[in-house]
Amino acid sequence: MGPASGRLRVIVTRPREQAGRLAERLEQLGLEVVLCPLIELEPVGPAEVDVGGYDWVIVTSPRGARELAQRRRGELPRVAAIGPGTAAALNEHGVEPALVPRVSTQEGLVAELPDPPGRVLFTGAEDARPHLAEALGADTVVLYRTRELRPADAPEGDLVVLASASAARAFAALGLEIPGVSIGPETTREAEAYGVQIVAEAESHDLDGLVAAVTKAARI
C-alpha cells in the first residue's frame, strides 16, 4: 500500500506515450499508479513498405499497426491482427482486419489462417519471436525496435502491469519480488521464464482486459 494514501500501488511499465490511458483507468478504480517506463520503442527499417503481391499482412502489436499504416505503399491485402489491441490500432488508421484469432498468440494466429495462406508479409519488432514467420514461410519487415530502460530508482508497488514480453524481461532484470498482471499468454510465458510471478492474465488482450485483470488481482 502507498505509505501516504493507503491505496494499492500499481506499477505501469508501458512506454510513456502509451501509459496515459491505462493509468487513468486504474486511478478511476481508486488505485495509486506508479509510472515506470521500462521500455521505449523507436522506428527502424524502410521508409516505405511495399505490400503489393502479398495475400496476407500480419501485424502483431499496436505500434506495428501504426508504423505500417504510415509507411505502407500500395493497397493492403487481407490483414491479420494478433489481438484486439492491435486490431483497434489498425481501425484507427482505417484498416479493418480480416482476421483476429481467438487466442492472441503467434500460434493462435497461425492456426486460424488458411492453409496454405499464400504469400505472407510479417511486420513487427526487431526482437519478435520467429515462430510465425518460420511457420508461414513469410517475408519479414522490421518496423521498430524495443530498448530496455533502467530506472534510476527501483519502483515500489504492490502489483506490476506487464503489457509485452519485452517489458517482462526488463522488469525481471530489476530483481524485484512484486507480483505481476500480464496482458496475455506470451507475456505470461516470458515473465514466468524469467522468474516473475504472474497472478492474473488478461482474458481480452487489450486495455479493457488489462484493467479487468488488475481489478481481479487487486480484489476490487
The pLDDT, as a whole number, for residue 70 is 96
Structure confidence by residue, pLDDT tens digits, 8-61: 999 999 998 889 999 999 999 999 999 999 999 999 999 999 999 999 999 999
Q: Which CATH class, in words, describes the domain spanning 9-38+149-218?
A: alpha beta
Q: Check if 9-38+149-218 and 42-146 are the same fold.
A: yes
How many C-beta neighbours within 10 Å does residue 142 have?
18
Q: pTM of this prediction?
A: 0.84
Q: What is the CATH number of domain 42-146?
A: 3.40.50.10090
Domain ranges of the chain: 9-38+149-218, 42-146
Contact in structure between 71 and 64 (CB atoms under 8 Å): no
What is the tens place of the pLDDT at every residue in 117-149? Answer: 999 999 999 988 899 999 999 999 999 999 999
Q: Cα(185)–Cα(177) distance, rounded to whole angstroms? A: 20
pLDDT of residue 16: 86
**Strands 49-50 and 72-73, bridge-based pairing:** parallel
Residue 129's closest CA among 165, 163, 170, 78?
Answer: 165
Q: How far apart are CA 171 and CA 175, in angstroms?
A: 7
The predicted pLDDT at position 18 comes to: 86
Model pLDDT, residue 7? 87
Averaged pLDDT for residues 153-177: 96
Q: Cell digits for 98?
A: 480480416
Assess whether pLDDT exceeds 50 at residue 80.
Answer: yes
